Amino acid sequence: MGHKDYVRCSDCSPVSPDLFVTGSYDHTVKVWDVRVENSRSVLEVNHGKPVEDVIYLPSGGLIATAGGNSVKIWDLIGGGRMVYSMESHNKTVTSICVGRVRKENDGAESMEDRILSVGLDGYMKVFDFGNMKVTHSMRFPAPLMSVSFSPDCRTRVIGTSNGIIFAGRRKGKENVESGRVGNVLGFESILEPERRVLRPTYFRYFHRGQSEKPTEGDYLVMRNKKIKLAEHDKLLKKFRHKDALVSVLSRKNRENVVAVMEELVARKKLLKCVSNLDSDELGLLLTFLSKNATMPRYSSLLMGLTKKVIEMRVEDIRNSDALKGHIRNLKRSIEEELRIQHSLQEIQGIISPLLRIAGRR
């Protein structure tokens, strides 16, 4: 009889062309002999979990099975007796393989067999089934799905769930003792090692790229200039309305002052700011109004504000000689504007009849 669920894996015996083994999600591993005519397995063992992988060990008398978070070794010659169970993974073991690694004993170098297992926990484990213990462990950045050696055991390849392949080639004898994690079992990466990522905490981060030369095919990317906010804009962002008004008044830029006032009007905070100004700050405001209130471009806003300032701060103006001086300056500016308006009206009275006569002709 065959398996009762998906057959997930199989392997051929290294010592006999007639024997092979299969593993299934029905938790069983079966040994088959093509010479048996009744199509029945000659041996069956129960792994206890869905079997993800099964391999023959080089002797041909032992097999290793992977399923759940364990790797188990079985003695086929002994009737399917379990020899050892390795449970060093935290998640499902997805693949196992056998490879030969270099080992030195008392100065003599030899090659020994090891079982490599990988799992969804992202770890690769190296198992010495001669001494029945885990000798190495290596962490990868993603769940691992498969592992295999090249026929000469000089190249190891590991596949991950996100499509990345990690390939390593056995290093020369002079480089084996480097001791880095990436040199487990004397393997180094086939790819060039990645450069260390520079972070803002490193001094070299601020000097990166200064020695690079332009090459043909480079793209010129224009960087948008960072907008530097003025002091009054920063204060407005912090909702410090009075400080923003005082700051822009001290700069004496009429466009910016009017812009800030319009923003405060939109926020309904202008009159409150005026009421909270001290004598010196109120003097700045009255100076600005005396110079700019009569300008046609700003008069619609500033004339109304001037009236409100005088109404709200009349007591402070009466008690301060400095503020009275600003009011006198404001009065002179308004009187001068009125004289100009009267002169313009007289000129208009002279020009209008002339224009009408010219229009009739």
- Long-range contacts of residues 20-24, Cβ cutoff 8 Å, at least 24 apart: 21/54, 21/56, 21/63, 22/54, 23/47, 23/51, 23/52, 23/53, 23/54, 23/65, 23/67, 24/50, 24/51
Span 283-324, pLDDT tens digits: 989 889 888 888 888 888 888 898 898 888 888 888 888 888
The reported pLDDT for the residue numbered 10 is 92
Q: CATH 2.130.10.10 region(s) of the chain?
A: 7-189
CATH superfamily, domain 7-189, is: YVTN repeat-like/Quinoprotein amine dehydrogenase (2.130.10.10)
CB 52 within 8 A of CB 9: yes
3 state SS of 72 = strand
Q: What is the mean pLDDT of the chain?
A: 84
99 CB burial (10 A radius; 0-12, 13-18, 19+) = buried
The angle, 0 to 180 degrees and rounded to 10, between the axes of the packed helices 254-266 and 299-312 is: 70
Nearest-angstrom CA–CA distance, 163 and 160: 6
Closest to 313 (Cα-Cα) out of 263, 257, 271 = 271
Residue 272, φ and ψ in degrees, nearest 5: -65, -40
pLDDT of residue 72: 93
pLDDT of the chain along its 361 residues, tens only?
Answer: 688 889 999 999 999 998 999 999 999 999 999 888 777 888 999 999 999 999 999 888 999 999 999 999 999 988 899 999 988 899 999 999 998 777 766 666 677 888 899 999 999 998 887 788 888 888 998 999 999 988 877 888 999 999 899 988 876 554 444 334 444 455 555 454 556 677 777 777 777 777 777 777 778 788 788 888 889 999 999 999 999 999 999 888 889 999 999 999 999 999 999 899 898 899 989 889 888 888 888 888 888 898 898 888 888 888 888 888 888 888 888 888 889 888 988 898 889 888 888 887 6
Q: Distance of CA 326 to CAs 43, 106, 113, 234, 321, Å?
A: 110, 101, 99, 29, 9
pLDDT for 182: 45
Asked if 303 and 289 count as a contact pair (C-beta separation under 8 A), the reply is: no
Confirm if 100 and 58 have CB atoms less than 8 A apart.
no
Phi, psi of 320 (to 5 degrees): -130, 120
Please give the Cα distance from 53 to 191 (Å, whole number).
28
Query: Quick one: pLDDT at residue 106?
Result: 65
User: What are φ and ψ of residue 251, in 5° steps?
Assistant: -80, -20
CA distance 301 to 204: 55
Contact assessment for residue 84 and residue 132, using Cβ atoms and an 8 Å cutoff: yes
Q: Sign of dihedral through CA atoms 281, 287, 290, 296?
A: negative
Quote the tokens at residue 14. Answer: 């290294």
Extract the tokens encoding 305. Answer: 């504000």
Which parts of the chain are beta strand (E)?
A: 7-12, 19-24, 28-33, 43-46, 51-56, 62-67, 70-75, 81-86, 93-105, 108-119, 123-128, 133-139, 144-149, 155-160, 165-170, 187-189
Q: How far apart are CA 56 and CA 31, in angstroms?
A: 11
- Would you state the pLDDT for residue 318? 87
Query: Are the beta carbons of 260 and 305 closer than 8 angstroms?
Result: no
State the Cα–Cα distance between residues 170 and 186, nearest whole angstrom. Answer: 6
DSSP string, 258-276: HHHHHHHHHTT-HHHHHHT
